[in-house]
Structure 1
Amino acid sequence: MVFFPAGTRFRIQLLRVCICLAISSAMPAFADDGIQFNTDVLDVNDRKNIDLSQFSRSGYMMPGAYSLAVHINKNELPEQNVPFYPPDDDPKGSMACLSPELVGQLGLKDEATKGLRWWHQNECLDIASLKGMEARGDLATAALYLSIPQAYLEYSSADWDPPSRWDEGIPGLLFDYNLNGQTQRQQRDGVQSYSLSGNGTAGANLGAWRLRADWQGQLNRQTGNGQGTDQQLDWSRYYLYRALPSLRSKLTLGEDYLNSGLFDSFRFTGASLVSDDNMLPPNLRGYAPEVVGMAKTNAKVTISQQGRVIYETQVAAGPFRIQDINDAVSGELDVRVEEQDGSVQAFTMNTSSIPYLTRPGSVRFKAAVGRPSDWQHHTNGPLFGTGEFSWGVSNGWSLYGGALGGGDYNAASLGIGRDLMALGALSFDATQSRARLPQQAGTLSGGSYRLSYSKSFDELDSQVTFAGYRFSEQDFMSMSEYLDARHEGRRVGNSKEMYTITFNQQFRDAGVSLYLNYDHQTYWDRPVNDRYSLTLSRYFDIGRFKNLSLSLSAYRNKYNETKDDGMYLSLSMPWGNGGNVSYNTTVNRNDTTHRVGYYDRIDENNNYQLAMGTSRSGANASGYYNHSGDMARLSANASYQEGRYSAVGFSAQGGATLTAEGGALHRGGVAGGTRMLLDTEGVAGVPVRGYGATSKTNAWGKAVVADVNSYYRNKASIDLNKLGDNAEATKSVVQATLTEGAIGYRKFGVIAGEKAMAVIKLADGSTPPFGATVTNGRKQETGIVNDGGSVYLSGINAGDSMTVHWNGAAQCEVRLPTPLPADMMSSLLLPCTPLTGADTSTGPEATR
């Protein structure tokens, strides 16, 4: 037999193919128990010592229970135990038993389930009751393949599964963190400042329930001005939630922020039941808010709502665009940009939502009950209740409305939405409030009116992501304004008018793209706030210089009567394999800076950026480095401005996940969010990935990927190009559709160890039959016996045991030497010890 210089799995499959090709050329004789082959065509010395039982029946698997991954058409379910029983009309046959629990995961339509028939004491689905359905087990891939006509299945898409296939994950504990540290020295006054801030989530999962606790803290210290140290750590929120797939909704108990499409958000303690758009197919979902701005230097950006930190990160100098904010966030957000030169930008933005439209015949709803609460976890307002709905009246029209009532505050809203088809989507609603303040006689009553519009102009390559106008009468109050007035003894934040627009335009022929964001807010009792942001980008070629990029960003921010204008111009071109060089200039009211920079991507896990330049106050330099490690995402930055300041900063984002199946430290995703625990069966150092950079499994063969989405069909894989020579992947791709906050668990098939030729000998000096299989302690196939007992084995580890199978059962056991021979190029001689009760007889008569 000639062995090719290829992987072990390839050799095993090649040997299978050779056997099948050889025996298929023989004239088969059909008997009651299957197919008998003429083995004379095989080039084997001892034709009496052959075991072809595994090839005698197409797809045959011996009766018994097997742990198999279930494939439904092109989709995959988690590994589970699947019994195989002889069917009533074929005692020597074998058929997969699809239990009612497994059938419940197939995603069958209601009308398809009504005609199902069952067998084996009603434990197994009669596959014939679904015309056209097929089931096939395959031990080589440890999988059960189900082919089901699409007409029987619920709606699914390339990235989405119906609720019957959603996975609640496994029980476990988690702790996520996001740390940011900075030190700055002001050269003019000698003040040295140190700051460390962080936020994150701790939690536990049990079944469908998710227990979470959000935390945030900061430590500030200054020397040279006598201010000392300021520190604070708060557990800002405790809550419990779970998905209710049957209602396409999410139930939350504990401390929460009102999630409403009609009323402003405020903090409360109680319960809420909200239709979750994330449970809808991707093309029917909304979108998350995004924050755009410009940093003059390396800066820390903090996004908060009513004092709770939602998102915090460090950005390099220049424009930034933050798009990965949780889509459950609604209402007004506070944005704070802390520059390394000591200056601070601050502005507010309103999270916009697309018009409140619903598919025909569908109803979306949101309901909550409880009492307003504060940061000290004390209730400080009246018991309230709120509910709202959106009803798809017909193909194009939606009716929506809701009410909020509690104590001396009541509000009601009613609106209508229209899908204008080619002209976009439009909605209008009116809200009326009535409030009585303890310190004020009489009742305040007023209205608020809102118009929203959204449209994608495909033929013009433009998109109005959101455009809105809102006018509120002077005596209109939101619930949050009412609560603030009760606490402060006076009204604050009395809104009047608000305009907002987010617009994208592509000019593909000219290679130009435009992004515009505009927010305008007026008040009855305080100054106007304005925020403009415009970005123009163009890609072009000049001679032999290709893919040059020119970008112009400008903004104007008017906040609390303070104006802040700025502009950023950048020209960059590729340099080398993964880098680019750039020139940029930043202009603001205080300074004008010119920089030349270089960016390079070392690999998928590492990149850096260096810049040097001049400004009115002197020379400047900065650097930025990012590393996506196995256990955390790290970044470091430094900047220097002659005569003004020097600064150094760092950030770390990661988490820890622990379950009964194992755990790992890992890079961070959404704090407290969905993640997947990957198991390589105890093999360390295996490169795995979700949608981000590759991570390696820890010493226990575990890794966690947190870059997965709730209710999406997520895939994780082994990076075969980076897999070491001492390991082979028999199953390199897994997938899962997880509910929000779940800890998914998936296993890869990995065989680790040395590879070598071996000769297996039985106690009487004979050899196992041609075609016998060898498996390790994890039931993984590590080789197929060739003529004369020779076998190419993989997964060889000192002291391990392997079993040899023929006649449909394990017959004998080989034990690998300790230590392994220094020269693995020569064949190993492996005695095979008979197992108790095994029939080690070989030859054709033994296989009949």
Structure 2
Amino acid sequence: MKNINIGMPIRYLLTVFIINAVFAVCNTAKADIEFNSDLLDIDDKENLDLNKFSKAGYIMPGSYPLRLMVNNRSINERLNINYYSKFDDLDTSLPCITPRIVELAGLKEEYERKVTWNNDSGEQCANSDSLPGTTAEGDLSNSRFELTIPADYLEYTSDNWEPVSRWDDGIAGVLFDYSANARYNRSVKNDSNSIVMNGNGVAGINLGAWRLRGDWQARADYADGAKINSNKFSWTRVYAYRALKSLKAKLILGEDYLRSDLFSSFRYIGVNIHSDITMLPPNLRGYSPEITGVAETNATVIVSQNDRVLYQTQVPAGPFSIQGLNEGVTGPVQVRVEEQDGRVQIFEINATSVPYLTRPGQVRYKLSAGKPANQDHKTEGNTFVTGEFSWGVANGWSLFGGSILNEDYRSAAVGVGRDLHQFGALSVDVTRAIARVQTINNEKETMKGNAVHVNYTKRMEEVNSQFQFSAYRYTEKDFLDMNDVIDWNPFRHSQANNKGMYTLTLSKTFPDQGITSSVNFSERTYWNKQRTQSYNASVYKNLDIGTVKNISLSLSAYRSNYEDKHDNGFYFNVSLPVGNSSTISYSLTADNDNIMNKASYYHRVDSNTSYQLGTGVAKSGATVDGYVSHIGNDAKVTASTNYMHNKNASVGLSVQGGMTLTAEGGDIHRIATVGSSRLLVDTNGVRDIPIRSTGAVTQTNMFGKAIIPEISSYYKNSVKVDLKKLPEDAEVVDSIVQASLTEGAIGYRTFDILSGKKMMAVIRLENGKFPPFGATVKNHQDQETGIIIENGFVYLSGIKLNEYMVVTWDGNRCDIQLPSELSDVPENNLLLTCVESNDAE
């Protein structure tokens, strides 16, 4: 045997490069290729295995894991592509285009019906001449299978959107998501302690396209160790849903809240089917409202509707913005800001803030039936049915309407939406309601009334401004909605409580001056109690002064009137960057009772962790606070503390996370939104592989599994291995996988990770000879770990102690066992014996 020298690895790499180049040439050549082995600088030219390279475009019959490409666009994870020989030409092989591949291609329905089939390979395969202009080619050197299809045959697709045929319902599994907050407050003045704990989340089971879900929420309040309320854990909603892909609709069974753009929401048990705008391409979708406000201390923000928590989070002192609401939320939403010192702000926003317009030719609809229900999961009242629609009649015009029918309640609405082009967009609808309610004398009384709903929006590009106005259902005094009838009590005189709600938003930017400004006003009026109002105005400016860049100035003011309580506030802040990851700032905060001057320091430790420290002086005394946030594999954790001299001290903690388990594995993980879609990633049992989507990097657990929560339903999501953080002993064949998941799905994708040591080795057969040049080495997972060159030399990857590898060539194979210890093996001098096997490849 020849001694191994330092030039051998370089010589080996050059040889392997030549072999790979041969692969590439053979895949693209138009004629057969005859090799001249004299060009190869090897000693053992008689012991060569290059037959598989000699046929132009020929791929040996068999099954190959290849990435499917359509018109050079990656479609899915690797699929097993089967090649078979033609009966009349054994030197020619053809790929089997299965029904699944045709489905993933995304053909329009009329062209998919034109595909014809054969069973020449023993399975159903598409005929290559079914659709003129379509070609299919395998590229083994790049592990790709390329379909070229005329664009006219295909459904709409884009970089982040795929047709329905590629939507993935995911795999079966269970999940539990939570968002939990806790706050401890110590009052120095009153010598008392209080603890507030609250949380909400979703538990669920996925079975095929069905999602079984239970929404839960909990709250507990303690004062000096004693519980001061009766709130406890409760299931707020139990239901099942699934996507109806062909209808671009969603079906819901069980408990739900009426989803309507025309009528007030109420809780019921029944069935709902509605057009799901999230199934439309991104440019045709709606939006979710933004919630803005100012927190005077580290605070908990709770967003709810009909006593159901929609979203909650902890925010630091200063202005906050929440954009995590579901697009399906409509109507009035209550925002509760619980300050760390125990004070509470409450205000309302209107989540219906764009005109009800539908694109020409489209029809959107919502249908529901069932019985109203209470929080104890019991039905009350009579059965109802409701339906509404919006039809894009013509360019710029939409007609919409709907009705609710019940034994004691009938309501009908009709409206029109109009795109006024340079004058904005407008929608107007009128609702007529007739209700039969019980009087004090236990008799039935009929009440009739009308309501008007107006929406207007105008985007003024020429002056960088936008104006929005919404009059949310101005009602007559005798107008009742379904909620009024359900909760009717003649002794409480609750009829005609709501009168109207008005929302006004004006925003403007000044690009040359770097200024952004906005004004928001919302008012809700009642027939039998005082109105509630909220105002919010903000100005933001970014500027440079000399060598100091990106100085930011912000100014916010707010006022809210809610149930005889008036909250007024003012906030000013100036921030200066320090280096690339730190900021120092000064702020002035004023409210009804206090004025505070405060200095803060913010630092971003890395992409996952940040903290803020602050100290200030107020009328009530000095204050010190801190805030730290960390996005981890298992959860997002936020902790805060605040101390006000001679007044109070408090500590807060917020944790958001979840657990997902499937037959393929699972993990404890952070969440993006409770109950949302997620992707289970499998790295062949290799731990600590860094995986990234649009959020923070996630490391695979000890079983080589990770849950990626930053997945958008119905979007084309790309998840990749972070190659910069990949361990040195790991390699990845394809570093990117893609998935378009239906709502609530648990997707599953695998990365082909090769893990283990790398070193030069010599493989010798039992008879003293060497495997031929070009023979391949694979591990027990069928991953290629090396290609043999002359005299058995091979650069092996994925070396793990005591594992077996297989060497194959020209239908032959032999097995090698790796040593149990490598510390005694000289560098680049691993000698392995290959035991021949009677099993043909």
- Fold equivalence (TM over 0.5): yes
Distance 1:17 1:453, change over 3 A: farther
- The equivalences for 1:181-260 within 5 A come to 181-223=182-224, 232-260=232-260
**Deviation sequence 1:97-156 (CA, Å, 0-9, x none):** 111232122210123224323233581112333333232334455442222222211011
Structure 2 partner of 1:845: none
Structure 1 partner of 2:96: 97
- Whether contact under 8 Å (1:360, 1:396) holds in the other structure is yes
Distance 1:646 1:450, change over 3 A: same
Could you tell me how far 1:158 is from its partner in structure 2? 1.7
Counterpart Cα distance in 1 of 2:23 and 2:681: 40
- Whether contact under 8 Å (2:304, 2:311) holds in the other structure is yes
Verify: 1:373 aligned to 2:349, yes or no. Answer: no
- The equivalences for 1:674-685 within 5 A come to 674-685=677-688
Counterpart Cα distance in 2 of 1:481 and 1:256: 18
Structure 1 partner of 2:692: 689
Counterpart Cα distance in 1 of 2:171 and 2:469: 39
Q: Secondary structure at the match of 2:289?
A: coil
Could you tell me how far 1:336 is from its partner in structure 2? 1.1
Q: Secondary structure at the match of 2:695?
A: coil
**Deviation sequence 1:60-84 (CA, Å, 0-9, x none):** 3322233433222313224333322
Q: Secondary structure at the match of 2:92?
A: coil
**Deviation sequence 1:32-86 (CA, Å, 0-9, x none):** xx43211111111121122223432355332223343322231322433332222
- Whether contact under 8 Å (1:22, 1:42) holds in the other structure is no
Counterpart Cα distance in 2 of 1:619 and 1:363: 60
Distance 1:834 1:404, change over 3 A: same
Counterpart Cα distance in 2 of 1:171 and 1:303: 31
- Whether contact under 8 Å (2:268, 2:371) holds in the other structure is yes
Could you tell me how far 1:558 is from its partner in structure 2? 1.0
Structure 2 partner of 1:509: 512
- Whether contact under 8 Å (2:438, 2:445) holds in the other structure is no
Verify: 1:162 aligned to 2:160, yes or no. Answer: no
- Whether contact under 8 Å (2:311, 2:324) holds in the other structure is no
**Deviation sequence 1:152-205 (CA, Å, 0-9, x none):** 110112211111110000000000011111100011011101122111110000
Structure 2 partner of 1:304: 304
Distance 1:737 1:782, change over 3 A: same
Could you tell me how far 1:5 is from its partner in structure 2? 12
Verify: 1:780 aligned to 2:783, yes or no. Answer: yes
Distance 1:337 1:87, change over 3 A: same
Distance 1:370 1:23, change over 3 A: closer
Structure 1 partner of 2:457: 454
Structure 1 partner of 2:119: 120
Verify: 1:56 aligned to 2:54, yes or no. Answer: yes
Counterpart Cα distance in 1 of 2:196 and 2:150: 60
Could you tell me how far 1:487 is from its partner in structure 2? 8.7
Counterpart Cα distance in 2 of 1:501 and 1:29: 67
- Whether contact under 8 Å (1:798, 1:818) holds in the other structure is yes
Could you tell me how far 1:310 is from its partner in structure 2? 1.1
Verify: 1:743 aligned to 2:741, yes or no. Answer: no
Verify: 1:109 aligned to 2:108, yes or no. Answer: yes
Distance 1:424 1:133, change over 3 A: farther
- Whether contact under 8 Å (2:641, 2:652) holds in the other structure is yes
- Whether contact under 8 Å (1:484, 1:492) holds in the other structure is no
**Deviation sequence 1:721-761 (CA, Å, 0-9, x none):** 11111111111111110000000001111111111111111
Counterpart Cα distance in 2 of 1:270 and 1:144: 47
Verify: 1:326 aligned to 2:319, yes or no. Answer: no
Structure 2 portions without partners, runs of 5+: none
Could you tell me how far 1:375 is from its partner in structure 2? 0.8
Letter in 2 for 1:200: G
Counterpart Cα distance in 2 of 1:92 and 1:538: 71
Structure 2 partner of 1:844: none
Counterpart Cα distance in 2 of 1:271 and 1:671: 23
Letter in 2 for 1:366: K
Counterpart Cα distance in 2 of 1:151 and 1:162: 14
Q: Secondary structure at the match of 1:530?
A: strand
Distance 1:4 1:295, change over 3 A: farther
Letter in 2 for 1:449: V
Q: Secondary structure at the match of 2:605?
A: strand
Verify: 1:411 aligned to 2:411, yes or no. Answer: yes
- Whether contact under 8 Å (1:180, 1:651) holds in the other structure is yes
Counterpart Cα distance in 1 of 2:490 and 2:207: 39
Verify: 1:282 aligned to 2:285, yes or no. Answer: no
Q: Let me know the Cα RMSD of the aligned residues.
A: 2.5
Structure 2 partner of 1:45: 43
- Whether contact under 8 Å (2:30, 2:57) holds in the other structure is no
- Whether contact under 8 Å (1:803, 1:810) holds in the other structure is no
Distance 1:60 1:821, change over 3 A: farther
Structure 2 partner of 1:76: 75
Could you tell me how far 1:317 is from its partner in structure 2? 0.5
Could you tell me how far 1:24 is from its partner in structure 2? 9.9
Q: Secondary structure at the match of 1:35?
A: coil
Distance 1:5 1:155, change over 3 A: farther
**Deviation sequence 1:199-243 (CA, Å, 0-9, x none):** 11100001000000011112221118x666755110111000000
Structure 2 partner of 1:383: 383
Q: Secondary structure at the match of 1:437?
A: strand
Percent identity over paired residues: 45
Structure 2 partner of 1:791: 794
Could you tell me how far 1:17 is from its partner in structure 2? 3.5
Counterpart Cα distance in 1 of 2:144 and 2:570: 58
Structure 1 portions without partners, runs of 5+: 840-848
Structure 1 partner of 2:474: 471
Could you tell me how far 1:810 is from its partner in structure 2? 5.3
- Whether contact under 8 Å (2:812, 2:839) holds in the other structure is no
Find 2:33's aligned residue among 24, 35, 39.
35
Distance 1:801 1:503, change over 3 A: farther
Structure 2 partner of 1:651: 654
Q: Which moved more, 1:191-200 or 1:697-706?
A: 191-200
Distance 1:835 1:263, change over 3 A: same
- Whether contact under 8 Å (2:67, 2:144) holds in the other structure is yes
- The equivalences for 1:816-835 within 5 A come to 816-823=818-825, 825-835=827-837
Counterpart Cα distance in 2 of 1:50 and 1:141: 23
Structure 2 partner of 1:66: 64
Could you tell me how far 1:659 is from its partner in structure 2? 0.5
Counterpart Cα distance in 2 of 1:367 and 1:487: 31
**Deviation sequence 1:758-789 (CA, Å, 0-9, x none):** 11111221212222221111111111112221
Structure 2 partner of 1:713: 716
Verify: 1:172 aligned to 2:173, yes or no. Answer: yes
- Whether contact under 8 Å (2:439, 2:445) holds in the other structure is no
Counterpart Cα distance in 2 of 1:138 and 1:162: 25
Could you tell me how far 1:442 is from its partner in structure 2? 3.0
- The equivalences for 1:562-577 within 5 A come to 562-577=565-580
Verify: 1:639 aligned to 2:642, yes or no. Answer: yes
**Deviation sequence 1:342-400 (CA, Å, 0-9, x none):** 11111222212422222222211100000010111001121100001111111221111
Counterpart Cα distance in 1 of 2:771 and 2:462: 70
Letter in 1 for 2:827: M
Counterpart Cα distance in 2 of 1:147 and 1:421: 41
Q: Which moved more, 1:15-24 or 1:36-45?
A: 15-24
- Whether contact under 8 Å (1:222, 1:229) holds in the other structure is no
Counterpart Cα distance in 2 of 1:116 and 1:817: 53
Q: Secondary structure at the match of 2:243?
A: strand
Q: Secondary structure at the match of 1:179?
A: strand
Counterpart Cα distance in 2 of 1:5 and 1:476: 90
